[in-house]
């Protein structure tokens, strides 16, 4: 669920990028010039600044469009999104937005390309009350070395696989093993019989069921392609981590999720088809962002010493998104902001 990026490393690609960008600018700027009698008007000057900002955006995120028409269309989307971001950031709030890699992507495209949790199929048979757990003021499993680097799922709706591997990576490490980066591609290619649908979505619990039966190999051994593939049985046989079970945490209960986080990172579903997620730039989201779960992420900690208290959430849209790939979400009661407390679960590794 990440940006529409293209390779501009070759000389040929760079020439194509430059020529198309120039054609796109001429097409769009030319239209305004025909309707403006004053070439130095504030409107045209602002437009020229936006063109320059857009081209910096393209270079920063290594993007390339195949036609001048596509350039012009993406530029319009970028302008609209940038205006929305400026309006949001001009208002006092606990979080800010930024023109990240999704700034040239419309809301409809973002929702269809980068989200993919099938929340409606969630298991309910392994609920745990998490009784008698002493909950500290703060936990950050990154500091304990239980969290791998932020990954990037691209335009594959495989968020559920990244949440699954993140939880297994943490549980495996905390059971006195070495931290290893596990293969999302194995889950995408091989766990369909468990209920997942590859790049068309899935569920973390289904991923855990697969790992219980098969284990997981490393990301290095079974590389991520960002698209559906045929299960490679040879690679699957090289198991690097296993789990013995998993727990579905009591839903809609902040205390239960906080207690679960004392064991390690926890997989959760959220509603992420919101501007707060698409353009998140930093700070603590403290207002409602929906409860129609459509994205799988990983809670790696929390902090209750601040106002507002917040969860620390690892996403899979690359480190250029959010706070180096992370987002902070305020701790609230009930379903939680963005539905974060609706379906938490975590794997168990026998020590």
- The token pair at 239 is 């198991």
Can you list the alpha helix ranges (DSSP code H) found in 135-289? 159-174, 184-190, 204-214, 233-236, 254-260, 275-278
64 conformational bin, left if phi > 0, alpha if psi -120 to 50, beta if neither: beta
What long-range pairs does 321-325 form, CB within 8 A, spacing at least 24? 321/2, 321/100, 321/101, 321/102, 321/280, 322/100, 322/280, 322/281, 322/282, 323/282, 324/150, 325/150
95 conformational bin, left if phi > 0, alpha if psi -120 to 50, beta if neither: beta
Burial of 220 (0-12, 13-18, 19+ CB in 10 A): exposed
**Which residues form the catalytic set?**
159, 295, 315
């Amino acid at each position: 669920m990440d940006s529409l990026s293209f390779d501009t490393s070759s000389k040929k690609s760079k020439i194509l990028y430059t020529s198309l960008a120039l054609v796109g600018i001429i097409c769009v700027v030319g239209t305004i010039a025909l309707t403006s009698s004053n070439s130095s008007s504030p409107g045209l000057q602002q437009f020229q600044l936006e063109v320059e900002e857009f081209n910096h955006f393209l270079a920063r995120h290594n993007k390339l469009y195949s036609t001048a028409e596509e350039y012009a269309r993406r530029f319009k989307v970028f302008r609209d999104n940038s205006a929305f971001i400026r309006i949001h950031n001009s208002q006092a709030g606990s979080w800010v937005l930024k023109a990240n890699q999704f700034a040239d992507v419309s809301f409809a495209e973002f929702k269809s390309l980068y989200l993919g949790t099938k929340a409606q199929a969630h298991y309910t048979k392994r609920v745990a009350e998490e009784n008698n757990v002493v909950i500290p003021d703060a936990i950050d499993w990154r500091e304990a070395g239980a969290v791998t680097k932020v990954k990037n799922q691209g335009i594959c709706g495989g968020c559920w696989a990244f949440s699954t591997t993140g939880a297994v990576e943490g549980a495996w490490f905390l059971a006195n093993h070495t931290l290893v980066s596990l293969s999302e591609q194995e889950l995408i290619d091989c766990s369909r019989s468990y209920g997942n649908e590859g790049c068309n979505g899935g569920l973390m619990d289904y991923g855990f069921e697969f790992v219980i039966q098969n284990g997981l190999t490393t990301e290095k051994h079974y590389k991520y392609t960002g698209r559906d593939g045929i299960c490679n049985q040879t690679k699957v046989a090289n198991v690097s981590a296993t789990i013995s079970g998993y727990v579905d945490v009591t839903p809609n209960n902040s205390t239960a999720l906080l207690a679960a986080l004392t064991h390690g990172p926890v997989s959760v579903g959220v509603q992420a088809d919101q501007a707060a997620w698409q353009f998140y730039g930093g700070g603590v989201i403290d207002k409602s962002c929906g409860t129609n779960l459509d994205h799988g992420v990983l809670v790696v900690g929390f902090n209750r010493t601040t106002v507002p208290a917040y969860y620390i959430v690892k996403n899979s849209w690359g480190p250029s998104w959010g706070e180096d790939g992370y987002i902070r979400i305020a701790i609230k009661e009930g379903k939680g902001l963005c539905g974060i407390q609706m379906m938490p679960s975590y794997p168990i590794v026998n020590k």
